[in-house]
Structure 1
């Protein structure tokens, strides 16, 4: 009797779910009116009019039209039955799902797992099956809707009273009867087929619904087990280690067999699914390896100093395949959704072997010995983590492993503290954390919290290796990028102009942040709390909140999206500006004038940031009316205190469009002179000749007087004043200066240099020399060379260059005694050529 009740209850649930699914599918599906429906409505309308008028002369035509119309309708129904009703794939795949559900149910009923990973894995299998069943139910609901529509059309044909009218004309009646018999034959045949298919689809829907209900029940059961496990893990599951009884845990042999069976089944199920992800992991491994090999081969072929370049990439050059394995087997496990423990540990085992090999090649010997010992500990941890039942042997093994890991790590920590520079960065901190968690695992095991002890011990061991993997990933990727840039140095592409040192500082910091986030995500996975953490974060971020008592609502998710998109747009603007600047410098090698096109990067940055702002608004879901409020508040802010900022912003736009100054121009503004290095949105950067960088607001460049030496060209006129003594031959001096200027190749011939008599001073005749330098950046050196040449030529030609002379008169008062001054006579001083003032016997005369 209870079995009958269960079957009846289950049947009611099946029928209810089937009808609800059909109803929901039909509700969601919009009714579409085809041309055929429009024609049918028109025919029925015309029939109604003709019957109301009782015109017998149109009845024959009406019958013929009906026959023709329903013949077309039958053909359409037949076409509907022949296409888009194929359920062979569902019928073939559904038995495997039914078998899988039976297997999973037995695993759940017999599960005594000591790790949450198995529970999450089983739930993931159920979720994937649930998703596929949802797709099948939608397909079957669509088919059922078509069949229902076919049946309604057939029923409408059978109920049509017009077809029962026989024409009075015997010849027309015969023709009509022949067509009527054909219509009846098609009707009965299609009606039979449609009903059979409807029954078949209904049975298939029942089977799918049955599997779906079983999955829902098992997911509830799994969730209950996960909650029980979480409560049990923090409580004392077993006696203290000194009070452990022989029958406290499961039998070791039976636990081993059950563990082996379950892991084989899970591994087989994993191999059979996600084939695309399997292939993507293989492609990643081969692609990274090929990338490194190609860069290394190109450097060796095209660079004479290839040995010096390759020596800077220690990991990827000497160990390319091991580096590829570390990259692949660190990232690929994150491609899967809750993979089984046996799969994760297989990936981790391969990763540990690769890291251990790399440590042996590049690290001190004592570090390799330590990591080899930790490798053994982690391997035994992995075997213990596979067990689905707790045994006394397993408990003692976990206890000894935690103790051994703590002792070995403490001994190695003392060696690290003696010479920290010899080991990897943060080795001391990581070892201290590892020792702490292993000690916590040991204590939890001692006091009966075996599940918690295993989770802590296994997770800390795994993440010690993952921390090493993340460290090597950053360096391997940076070295691979270095090889790529060096390989492109001799080519004519964009990468040959990228500064690796500048890129390294920024890219390495970004990589470090990304691998840290990845390490934390993997930590939540190994602790089996990723669903809880992400569900909490999802609820926290998507919960609607209001500001004070207003109706303005927001979510932290929208705020984060808005800020993130703005931040990414700023980064994108900088990257695009940098690449545009690099390409402009590349073009500068061919044409100097193209360098000034770099000023357009300001427009690009403004455009990218503006686009990013609107994308951020759209992505965060901020209403347009809220944006108008923000813009209004911004306008009020401009009126009160942001005039200068807005002035500089608008001035930046004017500079970008009008281009009175451009990047690379040499300007003077407010007694400051230098080269424009960058024109920003708010301010511009000027590099002065003494090495300073002056930040000038864009408003000053618009409102103040600006001298631009290179607006049209890079020419610069040099103006020199040279004086000669009176009595010199003026024509001879002019000829000498002309010939001297014509002897310099870096002096422009157009405009031609000129020499003019400039002024007659008190002691000299001044000549003004005017000439043009082709490049303003070289005019100072050119001026220096011309002056030096003038001095040498005048000395050789005997032309005197006058200089200022000054007579010094000393007035000595009569009432003061003379002062004897003794000064040493140096070797270079001649007594006869100097005035004897060392031993004055009398005060100097005023005429002296």
Structure 2
């Protein structure tokens, strides 16, 4: 029993021990798992807590994000409303446009204008107003789109259902309610402001659209009046001058009052616009005066004979301000787009006043007297041209002005025919043209076509003065350029190297062409056909045309642009080459490197022309595929008949890159020698010693043997063969020859000159003299000088220079024997030895005797 109890107790202890060990092991395992899974347990704990709430975590986060997003959106809308919605400028200026349109409408409704200038000026005002209103409409439309977008965003905020959910948690609900109240306050405030701005912008858009529509209607009326005016001007709008009635025209006082009112308003409107053009005109006036004064001041300082220089620039030196006024007031009116007549006439009166002053100082008295009378007539024409309504007084005035113009011109014409060289060039031709136009104007006025008569008469006097102004402008610009070049002669800038005579010949023709084109433009303006002419020209140039029945289309505008760009590129390449060559010629220390750089102008010319070609293609709008076809066709042409031309072109490129010869080199090729003047794209020019210029294709310079005497330097070796008589001391001759060579300082010392025994000939001992000339251009003169010194030295030292001798054997018949024509009896003759040619001649003379 005791053993049983003992065994049981021992078993209990064992069980207890293992149980405790197992518990300890499990405890250790449990502690290890809690370290690794602590974060996971925390997450599960928080999920358990959040699941106890009525709303999930996701809903709460969305709510908070919505609140933050809408707060940011409100702030952005507020920023847009405060910065980008600015209509103050439109609101201030729109009433003036409304008033202006109302005034123009009244002017158009009551208009009986006698000139197209006013109709064009009013249409120009409408066009400018149209452009401004277009800009305003775009701005208002952009603002309105932003306001609409703001309103859409605000409506989306107010309709969002998320903001209507209240969190169950009391702390979250309180925070949400506070933010919700702030959002609602911002919403109502911004909604009110945005709607007010939308109403304001809508009203401005309506007013702008209303003015815009009025402008379109008025422009249609103006265009109709212009067409009716053109038709009326070509028809007998009034009765003949002898049947003129008092009710045909407006009362003169009324017309004068309306003319003054309208011209003052147009002038004020003109002054307030185009400020930059006003300033540019003033800049031309002052800039030309400053240019002349600066050149004159510099010439006085640097040139002692400045009076001689000034005598060649009579106009700009003696009358610089008058010259500037003539240039400025001739060019400035062309800067404006349809300026009012009152402005044009103001500019024109200033111009003719300056011209009259200049002719008084520089022209013969008969010309000044004629222009003085014409000046008075022109001023009355200008006043008549300002009238906006036709009056009988105006019609009679234009008639008398035409007669007066014809009379004074016919009286002045014999003086021009008697001494045409005393007056300006083409004075007689201009006078005849002027008389013709005034005659046409007089006839039209007599037979009731007053509008046409007035246009022709005003055009005649205006373009007569403008032709004179164009002549003076050419002279003044050339004189100003002359002064600039003279002032820069002693400086090292580029202008000091330009030849004025060459510039005068080239640039004067360009100026004449430009001024002639400008005169024609002004003629169309004065005839009031400017728009019609340029519209037809534009239509002619821009109309698509096809070649035959193909799909290849072109416009004359593209063709003209292509040719013009190519022409300008060729002109530019020549100008660059000229300036480069001229600058190089004026550098006395030009070395070989600079000469090679001068030859590089060929590359510049090729590059400029190539760039010009591609620019011409791009500017003309020619499709690239068409150019590919043209190049392909050109390649076929090369294969058949242009090998020689292409060979020369490629040879020109090789000469430009490889540079075996340069401009200024002295070469020999195919028995032709000379100095290279120019290396062109296809051929090169060399100047021979006898003054001829030889054109050599570039292919010959590449394929033939060319001797270049100056490829690496300008030195040339000179070789002389000097013969002395037998018996002369060789060492003495060498010493004398060396002394002669040393006495010439223009003989190079390196390489050293040398004297060598060359040959023992039949009659002389020959010496070979070798020396180097530093400049190949002077070697002939140096050779002549050395030979002269050698001859004088030998003559002084008694050294004989032998000349060629020969023995002549003559057979003579014996004494007493006569030789007949058949030579039947001939006896042996004596053998006579002649020592020289003179002895032979003497013997022959004795034989003849």
Q: What displacement does 1:172 show?
A: 0.8
Name the SS for the 2:696 alignment partner: strand
Q: What displacement does 1:667 show?
A: 0.7
Q: Distance in 2 between matches of 1:194 and 1:247?
A: 62
Q: Distance in 2 between matches of 1:624 and 1:55?
A: 70
The question of 1:261 aligning with 2:227 is answered: no
Cα distance, 1:815–1:255 mapped onto 2, change above 3 Å: farther
Contact 1:565 1:616 survives alignment (8 Å): yes
Q: Distance in 2 between matches of 1:112 and 1:708?
A: 83
Post-superposition Cα deviations, 1:116-141, rounded to whole Å, max 9, x if no partner, equal: 00000000011111111111111111
Contact 2:584 2:590 survives alignment (8 Å): no
Q: Distance in 2 between matches of 1:164 and 1:552?
A: 70
Trace 1:149-548 onto structure 2 (pairs within 5 A).
149-548=149-548
Q: Distance in 2 between matches of 1:435 and 1:815?
A: 102
Contact 2:55 2:168 survives alignment (8 Å): no
Q: What displacement does 1:805 show?
A: 6.2
Q: What displacement does 1:804 show?
A: 4.4
Name the SS for the 2:146 alignment partner: helix
RMSD of aligned residue pairs (Cα, Å): 2.1
Q: What displacement does 1:217 show?
A: 0.5
Task: Please name the residue that 1:88 is paired with.
Answer: 88
Cα distance, 1:797–1:620 mapped onto 2, change above 3 Å: same
Trace 1:628-647 onto structure 2 (pairs within 5 A).
628-647=628-647
Residue correspondences, number: 775
Q: What displacement does 1:630 show?
A: 1.1
Q: Distance in 2 between matches of 1:332 and 1:816?
A: 108
Task: Please name the residue that 1:31 is paired with.
Answer: none
Task: Please name the residue that 2:847 is paired with.
Answer: 846
Q: Distance in 1 between matches of 2:591 and 2:647?
A: 35
Name the SS for the 2:600 alignment partner: helix
Q: Distance in 2 between matches of 1:373 and 1:735?
A: 92
Cα distance, 1:809–1:463 mapped onto 2, change above 3 Å: farther
Name the SS for the 1:155 alignment partner: helix
The question of 1:664 aligning with 2:664 is answered: yes
Post-superposition Cα deviations, 1:713-747, rounded to whole Å, max 9, x if no partner, equal: 11001111222233332222211111011111110
Task: Please name the residue that 2:15 is paired with.
Answer: none
Trace 1:714-793 onto structure 2 (pairs within 5 A).
714-793=714-793
Name the SS for the 2:717 alignment partner: strand
Q: Distance in 2 between matches of 1:242 and 1:812?
A: 123
Q: Distance in 2 between matches of 1:436 and 1:738?
A: 88
Post-superposition Cα deviations, 1:355-406, rounded to whole Å, max 9, x if no partner, equal: 1111111111111111111111111111111111121211111111111111
Cα distance, 1:237–1:844 mapped onto 2, change above 3 Å: same
Contact 2:70 2:157 survives alignment (8 Å): yes
Q: What displacement does 1:459 show?
A: 0.3
Post-superposition Cα deviations, 1:604-648, rounded to whole Å, max 9, x if no partner, equal: 111111111111111111111111111111111110111111111
Task: Please name the residue that 2:677 is paired with.
Answer: 677
Q: What displacement does 1:291 show?
A: 0.4
Contact 2:665 2:711 survives alignment (8 Å): yes
**TM-score normalised by L of structure 1:** 0.89
Trace 1:800-819 onto structure 2 (pairs within 5 A).
800-804=800-804
Q: What displacement does 1:529 show?
A: 1.1
Once structures 1 and 2 are overlaid, which stretch shifts more, 403-412 or 802-811? 802-811
Q: Distance in 2 between matches of 1:443 and 1:487?
A: 55
Post-superposition Cα deviations, 1:155-212, rounded to whole Å, max 9, x if no partner, equal: 1111111111111112111111111111111111111110000000010111111111
Name the SS for the 1:686 alignment partner: strand
Name the SS for the 1:273 alignment partner: coil
Contact 1:584 1:597 survives alignment (8 Å): no
Q: What displacement does 1:693 show?
A: 1.0
Once structures 1 and 2 are overlaid, which stretch shifts more, 215-224 or 775-784? 775-784
Q: Distance in 1 between matches of 2:379 and 2:197?
A: 57
Gaps of 5+ in 2: 1-53, 822-837
Cα distance, 1:256–1:732 mapped onto 2, change above 3 Å: same
Q: What displacement does 1:801 show?
A: 2.4
The question of 1:72 aligning with 2:72 is answered: yes
Q: What displacement does 1:789 show?
A: 1.4
Q: What displacement does 1:764 show?
A: 2.6
Cα distance, 1:89–1:798 mapped onto 2, change above 3 Å: same
Name the SS for the 1:660 alignment partner: coil
Name the SS for the 1:684 alignment partner: strand
Task: Please name the residue that 2:713 is paired with.
Answer: 713
Q: Distance in 2 between matches of 1:358 and 1:721?
A: 74
Task: Please name the residue that 2:603 is paired with.
Answer: 603
Q: What displacement does 1:329 show?
A: 0.6
Q: Distance in 2 between matches of 1:487 and 1:754?
A: 53
Q: Distance in 2 between matches of 1:267 and 1:765?
A: 103
Name the SS for the 2:300 alignment partner: helix
Contact 2:55 2:167 survives alignment (8 Å): no
Contact 1:561 1:620 survives alignment (8 Å): yes
Task: Please name the residue that 1:26 is paired with.
Answer: none
Name the SS for the 1:429 alignment partner: helix
Q: Distance in 1 between matches of 2:468 and 2:332?
A: 17
Q: What displacement does 1:454 show?
A: 0.6
Q: What displacement does 1:816 show?
A: 11
Once structures 1 and 2 are overlaid, which stretch shifts more, 548-557 or 708-717? 548-557
Q: What displacement does 1:809 show?
A: 10
Contact 2:497 2:582 survives alignment (8 Å): yes
Q: Distance in 1 between matches of 2:760 and 2:435?
A: 92
Q: What displacement does 1:316 show?
A: 0.7
Q: Distance in 2 between matches of 1:742 and 1:485?
A: 47
Task: Please name the residue that 1:579 is paired with.
Answer: 579
Contact 1:683 1:698 survives alignment (8 Å): yes
Q: Distance in 2 between matches of 1:812 and 1:438?
A: 106
Post-superposition Cα deviations, 1:788-828, rounded to whole Å, max 9, x if no partner, equal: 212222222222223346899999997899xxxxxxxxxxx
Once structures 1 and 2 are overlaid, which stretch shifts more, 707-716 or 421-430? 421-430
Task: Please name the residue that 1:9 is paired with.
Answer: none
Q: What displacement does 1:589 show?
A: 3.1
Name the SS for the 2:721 alignment partner: strand
Contact 2:676 2:687 survives alignment (8 Å): yes
Name the SS for the 1:846 alignment partner: helix
Name the SS for the 1:577 alignment partner: helix
Task: Please name the residue that 1:116 is paired with.
Answer: 116
Cα distance, 1:844–1:577 mapped onto 2, change above 3 Å: closer
Q: Distance in 2 between matches of 1:202 and 1:535?
A: 39
Gaps of 5+ in 1: 1-53, 818-833
Post-superposition Cα deviations, 1:415-465, rounded to whole Å, max 9, x if no partner, equal: 111121111111111111111111111111111111111111110110001
Name the SS for the 2:677 alignment partner: strand
Q: What displacement does 1:246 show?
A: 2.6
Name the SS for the 1:249 alignment partner: coil
Name the SS for the 1:845 alignment partner: helix
Contact 1:587 1:595 survives alignment (8 Å): no
Q: What displacement does 1:282 show?
A: 1.0
Contact 2:595 2:662 survives alignment (8 Å): no
Q: Distance in 1 between matches of 2:151 and 2:773?
A: 95
Task: Please name the residue that 1:13 is paired with.
Answer: none
